[in-house]
A and B are shown apart, each in its own frame.
Chain A
Amino acid sequence: MGKIKVGIIGPGNIGLDLLYKLGRSEYLTPELIVNIRHSEGIEYAEKMGIRTSTEGVAAILKEDDIDIVFDCTSATAHAFHAPLLKEAGKFTLDLTPAAVGPYCVPAVNMNDSMLELENVNLVTCAGQATVPIVAAINEVADVSYAEIVSSISSKSAGPGTRQNIDEFTVTTARALRDVGGADDSKVIIVLNPAEPPIFMRNTIYTKVKNPNINAIKKAVEDMVDKIKVYVPGYQILLEPIIQDDIVTTMIQVEGLGDYLPVYSGNLDIINAAAVNIAEAYVKKKLGGE
């Protein structure tokens, strides 16, 4: 059987980066990318030889052989798209903070029943980077409070993120609790315009009930190995250190340099996670047939 055809809504930083990642997939192929108007992103995709449309979601709904859709627009737009895509029976990966479907962080909570849903949400880039560490620490040390500081280069934060930074922090904080397992959480996002641009960097503070640092270190190492399978540039910058009951861990994400250069680890990690989920969906489907 051939590759599964994928549609992308929104040719921004995320959407265009996905074209590269999907282009390399053994299971998926980017079939159509849509926007609601002509844009630089549409031109870019055309130059890459990808079919485009300026009719928005309607163009995708018309294509029966598109099985999987990546929505890279905004929370508001996705709330409109989600029921239409569901109706059309398309498995939808929501890369906006809309959270119509449940949060999915592949290294932590992806499972067969999640792949049977019609819509899963990718949290945020900071969520994909930090939730796994919180979940790993929570597993062995019981996290009562998780606080993350996520620094991203100004160049890799697109207008969607900038105009909705509250949704970004609130969604990430919720995922630290719902998926990471922390009782309480706080998220801080910092944009840094330094040139050359900084790599995406995340500091994860956790307040733990069971401060066994060796168990924590081991759990974090194992989790990093799981993430590296789909995000090769994910690395520990500071292995867990503890003071009183507060554990500090720092990680950095180097991107693959697809659409934006390697400093945009934030694009890489959310897209890599989305592609990983889509591939798991296809593999499950193939396995079932």
Chain B
Amino acid sequence: MGKIYITDTTLRDGSHSVSHRFSPDDIKSITSGLDKAGVDIIELGHGDGLTGSTINYGFSDYSDYELIEAAASVVKNAKLAVLLIPGIGTVEDLEKAKKAGATAVRVATHCTEADISMQHIRAAKEIGLWTVGFLMMAHLTDTERLVEEALKMESYGADVVYVTDSAGAMLPVDVTEKITALKKALKIPIGHHSHNNLGLAIANSLVAIEAGATYIDGSLSGLGAGAGNTSTETLVAVMNKMKYEHGVDLYKTMDVSSDSLIPILNSKGLSPQTNLDAMLIGYSGVYSSFMLHARRAADRFNVDVRDVLMELGRRKAVGGQEDWIIEVAQQISKKN
């Protein structure tokens, strides 16, 4: 299995969750954090892609290009991607996005309509953008047809083709079947984008990887349309446990979520239900009821609760040993 590349779409799919009100400053803060965390591709802009700011989808307070410029001003390593849905955005819009600093594009069509992406994928490649073909609502067609459509996108010059579960309706068995078939038929890498509407986002991302997908989407805190996407932080934690090769730092993704995204969401009147401490309980393999005790101990000794939980995991503490928590926290505070 090769390296897994992570696309974070907090600032694009997550744009739906904030009714397309991310400001250039919000974009800078989150892009900068994701870039430092080692995320490979950062997607941003209106949830419905370039020129999606409409009566039909909701107006954005800022133009697509202002937002791209903001992201481009802070990004150092990651590719900056925009979404382009043929029928909404045009090649001309894409050229403007490239001028503003976009280095990648995801050209998205309904899963049976890949041929409407021909002019956009070709144009994207001509102007030097790294280009993904994004087959949306992939649950609505059968595997054979999906392969045909993916082959079209490959023939137009796409660098990667995605099986996009826009409705969060696919079961792990569906993801396995579709990714396996695409992997077999295509020469280019395959990606998967999930939604957590059935609580299957992480499970589906994992079976996608097992079936051969090497590009996986996540978003901080799982922010995204409907129940949201695969949480990038959780995905990284699980990929670490699975010993998959990837380039993203777990703590740093958690930090950008806690320190940048959550305050931004709170400022817009949203309070997402995220519990990264609980995620770390699973990651470190610590008894679940330790969570509240560990938080209190971390506060008391002014240490990072994550370090406390990780150390308890290393020590293989078992249920009932809540007394170890204070000792571990105190030890860490001494080292600091």
Contacts and interface: CB of A to CB of B under 8 A. Distances in A.
B289 interface: no
Nearest to A147: B55
Interface string B59-101: 0000000000000000000000000001110111000000000
A165 B56 contact: no
Contacts of A147: 54-56
B257 interface: no
A205 B59 CA distance: 13
B254 to A, nearest CB: 38
Interface stretch (A85-93, A185-193, A216-224): A185-193
A133 to B, nearest CB: 15
Interface string A59-72: 00000000000000
B118 A190 contact: no
A215 interface: no
A205 to B, nearest CB: 4
Contact of A166 (B91, B110, B113): B91
B9 interface: no
Contacts of A166: 86, 90-92, 119-120
Contact of A193 (B54, B113, B120): B113
Contacts of B120: 166
A186 B54 contact: yes
Contacts, number: 55
Given A154-B112, A193-B110, A164 B56 contact: no
Q: In the complex, which range does the number of interface residues on chain A fall in?
A: 20 to 34
Interface string A185-223: 010111111000000000101010000000000000000
Nearest to A168: B87
Contacts of A149: 56
A164 B110 contact: no
Interface residues of B, number: 20
Given A154-B113, A169-B90, A191-B110, A186 B119 contact: no
Contact of A165 (B87, B92, B141): B87
B331 to A, nearest CB: 60
A2 interface: no
Contacts of B51: 186
Contacts of A170: 90, 92
Contacts of A49: none
A191 B87 contact: yes
Nearest to B90: A166
B56 A162 contact: no
A163 B141 CA distance: 22
Interface in A139-172: 147, 149, 154, 159, 162-166, 169-170
Nearest to B114: A162
B116 interface: yes
Contacts of B88: 169, 188
Contacts of A188: 54, 56, 87-88
Contacts of A165: 86-87, 116, 119
B115 interface: yes
B123 to A, nearest CB: 9
A191 B115 CA distance: 11
Given A162-B118, A190-B110, 13 more contacts: A149-B56, A159-B115, A162-B115, A164-B119, A166-B91, A166-B120, A169-B87, A169-B88, A188-B56, A188-B87, A189-B87, A191-B116, A246-B55
Q: Which 5 pairs between the two chains have the least Cβ-Cβ distance?
A: A189-B87, A166-B90, A205-B55, A193-B112, A162-B115
